[in-house]
């Protein structure tokens, strides 16, 4: 089974690929705000995953050392989601709001798809 | 446009999202710690499963918080 660093490395790879697609769409299509919104949302979604990986490492360390864990960063992830939407609301000429929300969920969709593919391959 | 009812709706949405995420994360973390205590050699697998579980449990509450924020700013 893959560990979380491998999963996050795949997430990063997919994010950079998506960023390239969004840059092409932003530059060469009339839907520039939609692609910018997706890129913004995906950036914050990947940031959420980075926070989660960091907190999981901390959690693992604290279990082995026997110390207490304060939190696994749920409020921080809620806050980063709100930050993405706040940017989209404050700059509506550059970022499409619904695309930002869709972009925020793209890393999660990618995680599910990647797990399904991995499950299919290993069984 | 957001009146007091709109603010109340946003507050309820954020509160329920936090409640759902809290219960879900609590169950996942408690079972993972229990599993690691029973089988310390399965730690890597349990950690990965916990990572995926926490990520998927929090996806919908994040959407709820985001929608509450959008409703508040309409």
Tens digit of pLDDT for each residue in A21-80? 999 999 999 999 999 999 999 999 999 999 999 988 888 888 878 787 777 888 899 999
DSSP A96: -
Question: pLDDT over 90 for what percent of chain A?
Answer: 67
Say whether pLDDT at B19 is over 90: yes
In B, minimum Cα distance to A88 occurs at: B70
Under an 8 A CB cutoff, do A112 and B56 touch? yes
| Cross-chain CB nearest to B62 (options A59, A72, A81) | A81
The pLDDT, as a whole number, for residue A119 is 86
Q: What is the pLDDT of residue A74?
A: 87
* 3-state SS class at A30: coil
What is the pLDDT, as a whole number, of residue A67? 82
Burial (Cβ within 10 Å: 0-12, 13-18, ≥19) of residue A69: middle
**Distance between CA atoms of residues B28 and B49, nearest Å:** 9
pLDDT band at B74 (very low <50, low <70, confident <90, very high): confident
Specify the pLDDT at position A89: 94
Question: Is ipTM strictly over 0.90?
Answer: no
Chain centroid offset of residue A90 CA: 21
| Closest to A55 measured CA to CA, from A77, A35, A36 | A77
**Which of chain A's residues have a Cβ under 8 Å away from the Cβ of B52?**
7, 111, 115
Measured CB to CB, residues of chain A less than 8 Å from chain B are 1-4, 7, 48-49, 52-53, 56, 59-60, 63, 72, 74, 77-78, 81-82, 84-86, 89, 97, 101, 104-105, 108, 111-112, 115
Structure-block tokens of residue B55: 């990520």
CA distances from B12 to A26, A81, A84, A86, B18 (A): 37, 18, 21, 20, 10
Q: Which of B44, B55, B61 sits opposite A111 (nearest CB)?
A: B55
């Amino acid at each position: 089974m893959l560990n979380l660093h491998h999963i996050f490395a795949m997430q990063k790879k997919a994010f950079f690929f998506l960023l390239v697609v969004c840059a092409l769409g932003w530059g060469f299509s009339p839907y520039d705000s939609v692609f910018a919104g997706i890129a913004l949302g995906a950036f914050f979604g990947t940031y959420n995953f980075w926070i989660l990986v960091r907190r999981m490492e901390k959690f693992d360390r604290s279990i082995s050392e026997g110390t207490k864990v304060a939190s696994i960063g749920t409020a921080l992830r809620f806050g980063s989601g709100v930050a993405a939407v706040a940017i989209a609301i404050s700059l509506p000429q550059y970022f499409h709001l619904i695309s930002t929300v869709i972009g925020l969920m793209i890393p999660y969709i990618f995680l599910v798809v990647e797990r399904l593919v991995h499950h299919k391959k290993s069984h | 446009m957001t009146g007091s009812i709109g603010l109340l709706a946003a507050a309820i949405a954020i509160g329920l999202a936090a409640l759902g995420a809290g219960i879900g994360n609590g169950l996942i973390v408690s079972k993972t710690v229990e599993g690691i205590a029973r089988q310390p050699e399965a730690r890597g697998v349990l950690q990965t499963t916990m990572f995926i579980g926490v990520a998927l449990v929090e996806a919908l509450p994040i959407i709820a918080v985001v929608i509450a924020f959008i409703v508040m700013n309409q």
